[in-house]
Structure 1
Amino acid sequence: MSETTKIVALHGGLLVLLVTLQFLLPAYHHGNLARIMVLASFAIGYNVMFGYTGLLSLGHALFFAAGMYGMGLAVQYAGAGPVVALLAGLAVSVVVALVVGLLALRTAGVGFMIVTLMFAQAGYLTILYFTTWTRGDEGLVLQQAQRTIGSLDLSQPGPRYFAALLLFAICFLVTLWMVRAPFGKVLIAIRENEERARMLGYDVFRYKLAAVVISGTLCGLSGAAYGLLFGYVGATFASVQYSIFPLLWVLLGGAGTVIGPLVGTLFMFYLIDLSSSVTSAYMLVAGVVLVLLTLFAPQGLVGELRARVWRWLP
């Protein structure tokens, strides 16, 4: 079996499994998996920038919140339908990602990390400042009628699950195509040795800017979808923790792997869910597990699998 056939079979099989689980999972896990797929799409967007391009960002909550508030404000104050609102959220996230990329990429290393964090904090404070419109920490609650496309009610479990799956499949397949295309190979070359990539004649700044915009767009689309599918838009999603979460999910699953973000998000979600049902110190349990994984699986769960068994994993 060729490498391409293996990749198509594995990634296609995963999507088929997710479709099948819609009909098999009990209500609690069905709802959890829908949420996980949206958050995994957020992690996929982060992985484009960190895992494949080597740009460590601490400000991706800005992109997630930009898409979410672009969608939420369009619904709440412009009376936009779900499709138009999603497009509004997508447009806002593209603009924000482009502006952040043009400015933040003037720095490198720790400087880049700090600048992205400052942009995210500026976005968070802006949301709190314009409380009249954004309702600050209270947030915007989207009504059922505002989340309906024709006869398709996205507040219901079935349509919500398939909408989350569609979002995940788009982000998943776009990333898979990208990393196997020449563009993705250049991003990996920049990650491994930026100076050598520049010496080979590649416009490193342009490729890095494209990675930031693609990453921010996917994250913004995920944020818009999250607000629409779960009916809430709040300032919490612009806070520092939502910049740290995608980094943790990607590191746990395996940075620079297509499947890694889903595995990391799924693992972290249920680790906290299960440990919180046993003890109030669930974050301590999560912290211990994360430390052990960092020590014994430094490349992440899928990264270790690629290093030890399936070396063809993209």
Structure 2
Amino acid sequence: MSPSARSFLLHLGVIAGLFVLCFTLSDYHQGNLARIMVLATYAIGYNVLFGYTGLLSLGHAMFFAAGMYGLGLAMQYGGMSPVPAFAVGILTAAVLSVVVGVLALRTIGVAFMIVTLMFAQSVFLIILYFGTWTRGDEGFVIPQAARQVLGMDLTDPLIRYLAALLLFSSALLITARMMQVRFGRVLIAVRENEERTQMLGYDVFRHKFLAVLISGSISGAAGAAYGLLFGYVGATFASVQYSIFPLLWVLLGGAGTTIGPLVGAVFMFYLIDYSSGFTNAYMLIAGLALVLLVLFARAGIMGEVRRRWAPWLP
């Protein structure tokens, strides 16, 4: 069986497994997994930029928050229904991605990290400054009555889970396919050796710009979905910690692997969930786990699986 066929079957298997879990998990874990799938979609967007293109962003929360506030404000003040508001959320994140891409990609290395962090902090401060509409740290709730799509109630746990699965599956399959075509191969080449890629005649800036755009749009879709499915929009999601989270998930799961973001998000979510049950220092335990993985599994969980046992793993 060819690597591409194995990859296709793997992705279908992951999606099918998540679908089956919907009907076998308890209500508590079903709700957790719905949240994890939305956050894993956010991590997939981050993985496009960091894992495949090699651009380390410290401000990705701005795209997640742009999608969330684009949807939330459109519904709260524009009276839009969920589907058009969701499109507004993605468009808001895409526009922000264009601005950040044009300006931040003029820098490289550490400077790129700092510029993205400054952009994210600017977005966070803008949200706080316009607190009259955004409600700042307090945030605002999207009413249950407004969260209806084609007669389906997105507050229903089963519908919410299936909607999160649809979002995650779309992001997973799109990025998996993207890495199989020439565009994705060029992104990997940029990550491995940017100068040589440019010498071969590829427009490196154009590819990096498109990577920022795709990454920001996927992350924005995750933010819009989070606001819609869980009914809350707040400035917390634009803070620094929500820029660090996707980096941790991708590093833990395996940067540059298609299912690494999901594995990392599941691992970190439940590690924090269980450890917080018996200590307030749960982030210390999470940090310890990250240090151990960096020491003994530098490529992340799925990265190590690919290196040791399954070189065909996408």
Give the C-alpha shift of residue 313 in structure 1: 1.1
Give deviations 1:1-20, integer Å, cap 9, x for gaps: 22222111111101000110
Aligned residue identity for 2:296: F
Match of residue 285 from structure 1: 285
Match of residue 108 from structure 1: 108
What SS does structure 2 have at the residue aligned with 1:51? helix
Aligned residue identity for 1:284: L
Match of residue 256 from structure 1: 256
Q: Distance in 1 between matches of 2:131 and 2:159?
A: 32
Give the C-alpha shift of residue 150 in structure 1: 3.1
Give the C-alpha shift of residue 166 in structure 1: 0.4
Match of residue 239 from structure 2: 239
- Indicate yes or no: 2:79 matched with 1:87: no
State TM-score, norm by structure 2. 0.99
Give deviations 1:259-308, integer Å, cap 9, x for gaps: 10000000000000011112222111111111111100110000000000
| Root mean square deviation of aligned Cα | 0.6
Aligned residue identity for 1:5: A
Which contiguous aligned blocks of 4+ residues in structure 1 show a shift greater than 2 angstroms? Answer: none
Q: Distance in 2 between matches of 1:146 and 1:61?
A: 25
Match of residue 46 from structure 1: 46
Aligned residue identity for 1:305: V
Q: Distance in 2 between matches of 1:80 and 1:247?
A: 33
User: Number of paired residues?
Assistant: 314
Give deviations 1:120-147, integer Å, cap 9, x for gaps: 0000000000000100011010111111
- Structure 1 segment 1-314 matched on structure 2, within 5 A: 1-314=1-314
Q: Distance in 1 between matches of 2:133 and 2:14?
A: 41
Aligned residue identity for 2:226: Y
Give the C-alpha shift of residue 55 in structure 1: 0.2
Unaligned regions of 5+ residues in structure 1, if any?
A: none
Aligned residue identity for 1:245: F
Q: Distance in 1 between matches of 2:138 and 2:9?
A: 45
Q: Distance in 1 between matches of 2:281 and 2:117?
A: 28
Aligned residue identity for 1:15: I
Paired-residue identity, %: 66
Unaligned regions of 5+ residues in structure 2, if any?
A: none
State TM-score, norm by structure 1. 0.99
